[in-house]
Amino acid sequence: MNDFMFKADNKIYNLRSSGVLILNDKILIQRGVEDTEYALPGGQLKFGETGAETVIREFKEEMGVNVFVDKFLWIEEAFWKWNNSDCHTICFYYLLKMENPDEILSKGSIFKSEETDESRLIFKWIDLEKIDNYKIYPIFLKDEIYNIKDGIKHFIYKE
């Protein structure tokens, strides 16, 4: 199955799905090994896959854990620069739950991806009350993480 990522003339079009997993007043974030900025875990949709199916698959592939979608939270259209390319990303965000939280908590507060080709990813649990200390995407996360019960929201970000 092909990922929903297209490149043409220094432009990248990307369709993603990300998960918001909160356990014990901590949220799970990720970054590349060489990066200083964080994001919510997830990845590109594959052809024929729903956003919810994508985030469930990504958590299984990257962390070896089983999650399920509690509810749809947000959709974001982001326009940004990456190296010499203009990027246009559409991302679906889902609140996730786990039947067995020990499945992921036993990995520790910081751990690497289990996928060999994705071992460049580091996952980290951070206290919700310390979220302002991190550079995290999406930009709206720091405010909206406290407003999850407000219903589905749409965001547009232009860098």
Q: What is the pLDDT of residues 81-128, one digit of tens each?
A: 888 889 999 999 999 999 999 999 999 999 988 876 656 899 999 999
Q: Does residue 106 belong to any structural domain of this protein?
A: no
- Give the chain's mean pLDDT: 92
Query: 41 preceded by cis ω (within 30°)?
Result: no
**E-assigned strand segments in 24-120:** 26-32, 38-39, 42-44, 68-82, 85-97, 110-112
Q: Does residue 103 belong to any structural domain of this protein?
A: no
pLDDT at 6: 64
pLDDT at residue 1 greater than cutoff 60? no
Domain interval for residue 70: 5-98+113-158
Total domain count for the chain?
Answer: 1
Q: Does residue 105 belong to any structural domain of this protein?
A: no
CATH of residue 85: 3.90.79.10
The 3-state DSSP class for residue 142 equals helix
Query: 138 preceded by cis ω (within 30°)?
Result: yes
